[in-house]
Amino acid sequence: MIKRIVSIICIIAVCAAGIGIYVVMSGGNVSEKPDTLSQQPLLDPYATENDYREDIFFHQKHWWVDYGTVLKDVSYYSHIARENKRCNILLPANYDAKKAYPVLYLFHGFHGQPADHIDEHSYLTILYGNLLYKGLAKEMIIVSADMYTAKLADKEKKTQEQLRFIYDKCVDDLKLDLMPYIQAHYSIKTGKENTAVAGISEGGAEALFAGFKWLGEFGYIGSFAPNPGVIHTKDFVGTYWDKTVFEQFPQPQPGEELLYLYMSVGNKDPHSVNVTREYQKALDEIGVQNQTDFVKGFGHDMSFWKACFYNYLQKIF
């Protein structure tokens, strides 16, 4: 009997060791399924520096990962545009209408569209699915908005200057039409602690605009290589970019404080470095906490958006 017990223990030990070897050896092999991780996002998003080193795992599709459900060209009525607008929506893996989820709203860049962020094979759909699989992001609904907020039939006739101001209207459309639509049709959590906004380039400026125009609605703002136009910036005096939405960032009142404000720009960016620096200075002057990164080696492109969202998705909610 004793020999039998010893034999069973040895077999269990060998199996356990084999499992350990499998986990270590298969981690970089896309042909085998690695174990998920149980790590959770930090409670304090300011507590750690952001990481801009690329891990290719998070930017590739893997057969064993459920990337959720992409809903394309979801239509809702916009009172600002005076016609239907569209958005793309990503429901997380194993979405359950009986549960409630926080929501991240996204703005694309100049001349962009909702599918730039959320589509079946888009960079953000893949990145978020992998982060969620690894336990590095919370379950959330992600809504990619169309910033063009006017008659769609006239879009091709608009100049760059006209588009800049048409895009600004997306901030009111977001609050007055898109957010109520999402709340009415999906199972979401409300309150600033469950609502985030983010954007790239022109969308980064609109994310700042939305977050500060509707203080208390958004707990999290991500602004990546933002364009000018939010407050006055020295490099664009005398241009239509200096027709700003604010003279200065509004001061959050009690109950309106942001939970996390993250701005970032690459040192090779052709136009957003000084803009980001001036936004940071203005926020510091009114005492609004922010984590603003000036990152070596990045320009104004997809590789930078991936790095920014890699950090942001882990720190919200």
Please report the domains of the chain, with CATH numbers, ordered by start residue. 49-315 (3.40.50.1820)
Residue 40 pLDDT > 80: no
**Most distant CA pair in the chain, distance:** 91
Residues 59-101 pLDDT 10s: 999 999 999 999 999 999 999 999 999 999 999 999 999 999 9
Decide: residue 237, CB within 10 A, 0-12 exposed, 13-18 middle, 19+ buried.
exposed
Write the single-letter amino acid at 162: Q
pLDDT (average), residues 298-314:
98
DSSP characters over 44-69: STTSS-------GGGGS--TT----E
Distance between CA atoms of 148 and 98, rounded to whole angstroms?
33
pLDDT tens for 195-251 read 999 999 999 999 999 999 999 999 999 999 999 999 999 999 999 999 999 999 999
**Res. 17 pLDDT band, cuts 50 70 90:** very low
pTM given for the model:
0.87
pLDDT surpassing 60 at residue 4? no
Q: Which pLDDT score is estimated for 134?
A: 98
Give the integer Cα–Cα distance in Å for 45 and 56.
Answer: 23
Question: Residue 90: how many CB atoms within 10 A of its CB?
Answer: 26
What pLDDT, on a 0 to 100 scale, did the predictor assign at position 113?
97
pLDDT at position 292, please? Answer: 98
Q: In 10 A of CB 276, how many CB atoms?
A: 24
State percent of the chain over pLDDT 70. Answer: 87
Q: What radius of gyration do the chain's Cα atoms show? A: 22
Amino acid 35: pLDDT? 41
Where are the extended beta strands (E) located within the chain?
69-78, 83-91, 103-107, 141-145, 195-200, 220-224, 260-266, 291-295
Residue 172: is its pLDDT beyond 50? yes
What pLDDT shows up at residue 43? Answer: 79
The residue with tokens 């959050």 is 252
Single-letter amino acid, residue 174: L
